[in-house]
Amino acid sequence: MNVLAIESSCDETSAAVVSDGRVVRSNIVASQVDLHARYGGVVPEVASRQHLAQVLPVIREALDTAGCTLADIDAVAGTRGPGLAGALLVGYSAAKAIAFGRDLPFLGTNHLEGHIYANWLGEGDEPRFPALCLVVSGGHTDLVLMRGHGEYERLGGTRDDAAGEAFDKVGRLLGLPFPGGPAVAREADALAASGAKPALELPRAWLHGTFDFSFSGLKTAALHAVRSGKYTTGDVAAAFQESVVDILAGKTSRLARELGAAEVLVAGGVAANRRLREELARRCPVPVRIPIPRLCTDNAAMIGAAATHRLRLGERSPWDEDIFSTNSWEVPLPSAGDRERR
């Protein structure tokens, strides 16, 4: 099955052709980072308009790169939140229109489920269940037990900032370029490469007895460290990153052990972080699967992978389906079978 997938939830316009839910035949990502950098964050209105300008050229390029035409496509998928409403509407409407015009099956696909399914892309064995998923993106930090395809139970999550959001805010207070996550990681890596250890330690909110997270206190502690004028940018960046990584890897490894998970699946933009990847692999008692960095950040191939599993079960979205207007995991992922079948 060849799925054409379109993703436009935030500031990347992306289209992909994915075969059988695992083979990436193309995955074009047009980033808007430069456009938003001057504002120090994503401006929703600017993002929507840029998606509109980019979406058809990106789809064209995805088809050309895959060496196919719409005649070779069996189904179309579009990201259906969480995300910025105006941004989501562009890719989602384009996907719906192509499916309608070609009389193809269409499936609106949850963005976070897409991040998780990036772990199905590529060669080798498929992930095994029960899998513990650590979802760490710009808007979400969640520990989710996945018992089977489409079966999720949220066991913990952030009570305030998402991990990526905290990276971005600390990047901003350190005066680093947008987006803050990769910039903070680069500063921390540079300090480590020089052989130095960070000159300070920042606190960790363990929230014992839960699998929840809190990063707002850490962010404030980083702010005080910057204001004290006693530390270099590298010191604060590295100390901050070590706190986040320690908590994420510590809680994930403990929960994986308690649950007897078969595997740990890591998902979302922060999964591109080198220290997080190292520490999860070192501490988890079971195999840890993390997509290659460019499949961790927003891309359409992951949406194609997630959609394929549902399309195979016969799920289809009705033509009057809306995008999710929420950006919270509090609205549970749709479980397999609760969508209208056609």
CA distance 300 to 114: 8
Least distance in Å: CB of 271 to ligand KG4? 8
Q: Which residues bind ligand KG4 (CB under 6 A)?
A: 10, 137-139, 164-165, 167-168, 179-182, 185, 268-270, 272-273, 297-298
By a kind-dependent CB cut-off of 5 to 8 A, residue 174 interacts, out of Zn ion, ligand KG4, none, with none
Residue of 11, 168, 298, 315 that binds Zn ion (CB under 5 A): 298
Q: CA-to-CA distance for 69 and 62, rounded, in angstroms?
A: 10
Using an 8 Å Cβ cutoff, are 244 and 136 in contact? no
Measured from the CB atom, is 157 or 269 closer to ligand KG4? Answer: 269
Q: How many residues bind Zn ion (CB under 5 A)?
A: 2
Cis peptide upstream of residue 57 (ω within 30 degrees of 0): no
Residue 174 CB, shortest distance to ligand KG4, in Å, is 13
Only one of the segments 16-24, 59-67, 132-140, 217-225 lies at the binding site for Zn ion (rule: CB under 5 A); that segment is 132-140
Choose from Zn ion, ligand KG4, none: what does 113 bind? Cβ within 5-8 Å by kind: none
CB 11 within 8 A of CB 39: no
Cβ of residue 285: shortest distance to Zn ion, in angstroms? 27
Tell me whether strands 75-79 and 141-148 are parallel, antiparallel or unpaired.
Answer: unpaired
Is the alpha carbon torsion for 129, 132, 135, 136 positive or negative? Answer: negative
Residue whose structure tokens are 């520990």: 143
Shortest distance, CB of residue 318 to ligand KG4, whole angstroms?
A: 26
- By CB under 5 A, tell whether 11 contacts Zn ion: no
Write b or e for each residue in 31-55: b if 16 or more Cβ atoms lie within 10 A of its Cβ, otherwise e: ebeeebeeeeebbeebbbbbbbebb
Choosing among ligand KG4, Zn ion, none, which partner's interface includes residue 185 (Cβ < 5 to 8 Å by kind)?
A: ligand KG4
Site residues (vs Zn ion, CB under 5 A): 137, 298
